[in-house]
């Protein structure tokens, strides 16, 4: 196992209830759904599945998931789904008695854009003692990945999502413990207090890095992602770097591929994070964008994530 990378994902596992509609409803509006289905979701589970699909079955990376589900049918189904992958350690995926599993109601319009309502359920029950019990997983890990759908107690790679959790959880986070921070545009704006615009992305990156991380990656949807490295904090720099001498930053914009169609953007950000643990920095971001771009051309969240074979065929 010495040549393996090990990634532990601490996060949520939800049952997604997905409605496809022509247009997203306005306030007070009742509309008809064109189709409905359920899918496995939750940011932590999504990212673990994306990572496992890309590297777990090949032996390239060993994935583990730490999370909580309720004592209900959805909890049983989510646990069995993880077991079926055969490449994720779920020894710390525990069932909470007398508690419902996390759920998400997702509306997806004809352009693939979505609105999401979350119910945390058992996800909110994970605590510091649970993290302590899982330390044997963390000790051998190259990456520990967390989000904001659960309480934060230990962070290495930090995905500050969903944005609604910021006011509650930001005060609990020591950003000096974060190596890589990966917000989207809205999350970056909230974290920095800077109105986000592509023209001032340098300032947004500077503000993110000033809080402690070494690397910031801002996902930009159909525009790809922007990678920034604080070159004062690393010894080995990546190729094709562009120096910002004033702030000691290296900034690289990785373009997303042009897609003929976008079917469903649900889980694309989680797919990106899961892929992020397989490669290193620039190559990693490019591969992660490709994975997320493939996922939005398929229905669902975890079911839409590409495998390593899918990537190799591109």
What does the mean pLDDT of the chain come to?
74
pLDDT tens digit string along 22-59?
Answer: 999 888 899 999 999 998 988 889 888 888 887 755 55
- In CATH terms, is domain 5-25+32-304 a member of 3.30.420.40? no
- Distance set, CA 45 to CA 20, 137, 147, 161, 211 (Å): 23, 16, 11, 14, 27
pLDDT tens digit string along 101-158?
Answer: 999 999 989 888 888 898 989 988 887 777 666 666 666 666 677 666 555 444 455 5
Burial class (CB in 10 A: 0-12, 13-18, 19+), 231: middle
Q: At 155, is the secondary structure helix, strand, or coil? A: coil
Q: What is the pLDDT of residue 240?
A: 42
First and final CA of the chain: distance in angstroms? Answer: 29
| Both tokens assigned to 311 | 């990537």
DSSP H or E run through 146? strand 143-146
> 118 - beta bridge partners?
104
Q: Where residue 236 falls among pLDDT bands split at 50, 70, 90?
A: very low
Residues in the chain: 314
Least confident of 85-99, 175-189, 232-246: 232-246
Q: What is the pLDDT of residue 53?
A: 80
Q: At 251, is the secondary structure helix, strand, or coil? A: strand
Domains of the chain: which residue ranges? 5-25+32-304
Task: Please state, in angstroms and rounded to a whole number, the distance separating the CA atoms of residues 21 and 40.
Answer: 20
Segment 212-238 shows an average pLDDT of: 72
More confident residue, 100 or 156: 100
| Both tokens assigned to 132 | 């302590």
pLDDT reading at 239 higher than 60: no
Task: Please state, in angstroms and rounded to a whole number, the distance separating the CA atoms of residues 170 and 172.
Answer: 5
Please identify every residue annotated as catalytic.
Answer: 270
Q: At 64, is the secondary structure helix, strand, or coil? A: strand
pLDDT reading at 271 higher than 80: no
Least confident of 143-157, 179-193, 270-284: 270-284
Task: Please state, in angstroms and rounded to a whole number, the distance separating the CA atoms of residues 52 and 154.
Answer: 21
Annotated binding site: 14-16, 42-46, 149, 184, 219-224, 264, 266, 269-270, 295, 298, 300, 304
Annotated binding site for substrate: 14-16, 42-46, 149, 270
Cβ-contact 225, 272 below 8 angstroms: yes
Cβ-contact 291, 305 below 8 angstroms: yes
Q: What is the pLDDT of residue 245?
A: 47
| Both tokens assigned to 185 | 């545009």
Task: Please state, in angstroms and rounded to a whole number, the distance separating the CA atoms of residues 76 and 115.
Answer: 26
């Amino acid at each position: 196992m010495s040549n393996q990378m090990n990634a532990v994902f601490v996060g949520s596992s939800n049952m997604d209830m997905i409605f496809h509609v022509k247009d997203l409803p306005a306030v007070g509006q009742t509309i008809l759904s064109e189709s409905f289905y359920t899918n496995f979701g939750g940011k932590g589970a999504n990212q673990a599945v994306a990572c496992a699909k890309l590297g777990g079955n090949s032996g390239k990376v060993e994935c583990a998931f730490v999370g909580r589900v309720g004592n209900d049918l959805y909890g049983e189904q989510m646990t069995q789904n993880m077991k079926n992958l055969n490449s994720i350690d779920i020894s710390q995926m525990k069932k909470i008695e007398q508690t419902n599993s996390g759920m998400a109601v997702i509306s997806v319009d004809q352009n693939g854009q979505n609105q999401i309502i979350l119910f945390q359920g058992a996800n909110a029950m994970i605590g510091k003692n649970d993290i302590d019990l899982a330390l044997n997983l963390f000790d051998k890990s190259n990456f520990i990945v967390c989000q904001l759908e659960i309480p934060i107690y230990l962070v290495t790679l930090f995905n500050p999502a969903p944005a609604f959790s910021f006011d509650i959880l930001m005060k609990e986070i020591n950003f000096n413990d974060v190596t890589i921070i990966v917000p989207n545009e809205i999350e970056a704006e909230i974290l920095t207090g800077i109105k986000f615009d592509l023209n001032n992305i340098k300032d947004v990156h500077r503000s993110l890095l000033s809080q402690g991380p070494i690397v910031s990656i801002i996902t930009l949807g159909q525009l790809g992602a922007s990678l920034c490295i604080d070159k004062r904090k690393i010894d080995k720099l990546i190729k094709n770097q562009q120096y910002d001498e004033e702030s000691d930053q290296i900034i690289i914009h990785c373009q997303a591929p042009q897609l003929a169609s976008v079917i469903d953007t649900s889980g694309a950000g989680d797919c990106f994070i899961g892929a992020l643990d397989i490669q290193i920095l620039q190559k990693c971001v490019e591969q992660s964008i490709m994975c997320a771009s493939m996922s939005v051309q398929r229905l669902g969240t975890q079911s839409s994530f590409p495998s390593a074979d899918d990537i190799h065929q591109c």
